[in-house]
Structure 1
Amino acid sequence: MNPVLSSSEVGVKINEWYKMIRQFSVPDAEILKAEVEQEINQMEEDEYLLIYFSLMKFRHQLMLDYLEPVTTRIRPTIDELLEKIEASNKGITGLLSYYSLFFRGMYEFDKREYVKAIGFYREAEKHLTHVNDDIEKAEFHFKLAEAYYIMKQNHISMHHVKQAMDIYNQYELYKVRKIQCHFVISGNYVDFKHFEKSLPHLEKALELSKQLERNERLLSSAYYNLGKNYADLGINDKADHFLNEAAKVSESAKLSNLPHSLFTYAKFLFKQGKTSEAIKMSKKGLSAAISQGDKLFVSLQKYLEALYINAVDQVGIKKTIDYLERNKNYAYVEDIAIDTAEVFAKSKEFETSYVYHQKMLETQKQIQRGECLYEF
């Protein structure tokens, strides 16, 4: 008969497991997960720890979903985990309540439900006083920085990413998060139109990415962001090289960011007048988005088709803008309005160009107001 283990013993091992998850150390995390799953059955009854265990399985799957190819994802499992957690978390308080809300925010962010994600993060923040671990505080600030960056709340994003980076820089084992912080800092600088300040952060991210094993996701993101940065700087040969590399890595490794990479590369090629190459990339991107069930990039690829292939189909463009506005993806609305205004201006259809220019200004006001993020 196996001896009964104390919940404190198992709790210590779950904490170690979580450390490996936060370091993106997949082999160590998998070993500890298997050990905890075995020991949890030999443990004295402890409802608190069982909920903690369920939360950590959920967080473990979020890590795998970020790093692993799409074909290895087990989405029904993560949905089942979420259902179990929400069924058992009624009445939980303190640290468990923080984890429940924080991890749910991460899940919503992964689904591109950015407003929902920020809502859960803000609820989690109310329980942040129960968190004594510096790295966990860094995790919280990083995830908020990431979400606010996506929603174009750049000053708030910079405030949080600085707090995260200050903590991560004190530790050697968190290279993945340091790379991701460089991405967020770079993206904010781009939104501030300081393209030259963005570049060193991306070069550092690429350098760190090459030092890691299982680095395809981070490597593709580094190439992608460098490509966009060089395009912003008008250095088109380097932009083409890095965007192409990003798409190749994402396709080869079957990564979830493939639709995003192919959309951006196709858009760049269309703007460069390389129409046949652009159409090929756009079709490949649409196929990848449909295959992954990625509604956002299905809509965005159809926008490229409407703007560049179908002789500027304004009905198709409006469909994409309506979809983006319903989902509060204002950053994409702004980009679409700018690009469409430019296309009409080049063809000397200035009245129509003006309409899209006004849409751009209206969207920028919406972004600056950010009212959906500050309701009490």
Structure 2
Amino acid sequence: MSSVLPSSEVGVKINEWYKMIRQFSVPDAEILKAEVEQEINEMEEDEYLLIYYTLMKFRHQLMLDYLEPVTTRVRPTIDELLEKIEASNKGISGLLCYYSLFFRGMYEFDQKQYVKAIGFYREAEKQLVHVHDEIERAEFHFKLAEAYYGMKQSHVSMHHVKQALDIYDQYELYKVRKIQCLFVISGNYVDFKRFEKSLPHLEKALELSKQVNNNERLLSSAYYNIGKNYGDLEEYSKAEIYLKKAAEISEKYKLGNLPHSLFTYAKLLFKQGKTSEAIQISKKGLSSAIYHGDKLFESLQKYLDALYINAIDQMGIKKTIDYLEKNKNYSYVEDIALDTAAVYAESKQYDKSYFYHRKMIQTQKQIQRGECLYEF
């Protein structure tokens, strides 16, 4: 007769599994996941540990979707796991409730639903008293920093990312998170228009990325961010080199950030008047966005088409702005309103240029107001 495993023993192994997930150590995480799956079948009945196991499968999937192309392995979809979690969520409290809300926030962020993500993070924060692990608190602060950066709430983002980095700096094994913190810090400096302060953080991120195994996603992001930074500094030849390198890596390894890289690369080429090359990159970017199911960058590539190819298609531009505003992607509204105003000014259509300048200013005010996520 086979012995029944105590659930506490399996719980310890799930904790080790989560530790490997947070370190982005895919081989170790996969081994522990397989061991946990075997032991779950031999374990004594424990409803709460099964919920913890389902949550950790969800978190494992988020890690894989960040690092690896979707087509590399057969695995459950995020939606399938999400459905299981929501079905078992009723009545849970404490640490399980924290993980449920926190991981859901991560999912919404990956869907570029930044307001929803912050909403779940704020709910998770109410359960943070149950979190005693220092690294887990760093994870929480990092994810909030990332979400607030996406909303251009730069000062709030900086507050959280510093708290995260202060912890990660104490641990050698969390190099990936250190790199990601540097991306957020540099991005916030860009939003402050302090481009010269952004670049050193990105150069450090690139250096660290080269020291990480399975680093294609990090390398492509580092090259992308440096390229974008050089574009902001109006050093366009350097910007092209880095953006092209980012896109090549993403394309070679079928990474999910390819639509983003191709959009920024195409936009840079259009701005320099390299229209023929830009059209080819933009077409590739649209195909990539459709392939990856990335509605945001599908819409943004169509915007480039409307602005630069179709003799300023006003309805096409409006359609993109409507989509962005509906999804509260205000940072992109601000950027494309400015670009559209500049194109109209170049063609001496000053009334239309003025209209989009006003749209940009209105959007900046919207960003400054932020979303009211407080309950008092």
TM-score range, shorter chain: over 0.9
Q: CA deviation at 1:375?
A: 6.0
Q: Give the 3-state SS of the residue equivalent to 2:297 in structure 1.
A: helix
Letter of the 1:4 counterpart = V
| Unaligned residue ranges in structure 2 (runs of 5+) | none
Give the corresponding residue for 2:52.
52
Where does 1:1-376 land on structure 2 (aligned, <5 Å)? 1-72=1-72, 77-374=77-374
| Alpha-carbon displacement from aligned partner over 1:147-193 (angstroms, at most 9, x marks no partner) | 00000100000000000000000000001100000000000000000
**CA offset at residue 144 of structure 1?**
0.3
The 1:344/1:73 distance shift into structure 2, 3 A limit, reads farther
The one-letter code of the counterpart of 1:10 is V
Shift of 1:74: 6.0
Matched-pair contact (CA < 8 Å) for 1:24–1:63: yes
Aligned residues of 2:115 and 2:371 also touching (Cα < 8 A): no
Structure 2 CA distance for aligned equivalents of residues 167 and 76 of structure 1: 33
- Give the counterpart letter for 2:224 in structure 1: Y
Question: What is the alpha-carbon distance in structure 2 between the residues aligned to residue 203 and residue 247 of structure 1?
Answer: 18
Q: Retained in 1: the 8 A contact 2:333–2:360?
A: yes
Given the superposition, is the C-alpha separation of residues 38 and 121 from structure 1 closer, same or farther in structure 2, using an over 3 Å criterion? Answer: same
Distance 1:234 1:316 in 2: 28
Quick one: which amino acid aligns to residue 206 of structure 1? L
The answer to whether the 8 Å contact 1:115/1:372 transfers is no
TM-score by length of 1: 0.98
One-letter amino acid matched to 1:370: G
Identity, in percent, stands at 82
Q: SS in structure 2 opposite 1:146?
A: helix
Inter-partner Cα distance in structure 2 for 1:35 and 1:73: 18
Post-superposition shift, 1:297? 0.8
Letter in 2 for 1:108: E
SS of 2:306 mapped into structure 1: helix
1:75 to partner: Cα distance? 7.5
For residues 36 and 324 of structure 1, what CA distance do their matches in structure 2 show? 42
Q: Would the aligned equivalents of 1:65 and 1:73 in 2 still touch at CA under 8 Å?
A: no
Q: How far apart are residue 371 of structure 1 and its match?
A: 2.9
Please identify, of 28-37 and 108-117, the stretch whose mean Cα deviation from structure 2 is larger: 108-117
> How much does 1:373 deviate?
3.9
C-alpha distance in 1, partners of 2:218/2:374?
32
Question: Does the 8 Å CA contact 2:5/2:44 hold for their aligned counterparts?
Answer: yes
Q: Distance in 2 between matches of 1:162 and 1:94?
A: 26
The number of equivalent residue pairs is 376
Question: 3-state SS of the aligned residue for 2:211?
Answer: coil
Distance (whole Å) between structure 1 residues aligned to residue 141 and residue 211 of structure 2 = 25
Distance in 1 of aligned mates of 2:15 and 2:232: 43
Greater mean alpha carbon deviation, residues 2-11 or residues 350-359: 2-11
TM-score with structure 2 length normalisation?
A: 0.98
**Separation in structure 2 between the aligned mates of residue 78 and residue 349 of structure 1, nearest angstrom:** 47
Whether the 8 Å CA contact 1:302–1:316 is kept in 2: the answer is yes
Letter in 2 for 1:260: H
| Alpha carbons 2:210, 2:219 under 8 Å: kept | yes
Please say if residues 10 and 39 of structure 1, whose CA atoms lie closer than 8 Å, have aligned partners that are also in contact: yes
Q: What one-letter code is carried by the residue in structure 2 that aligns with 1:278?
A: A
- Over the aligned positions, Cα root-mean-square deviation in angstroms equals 1.1
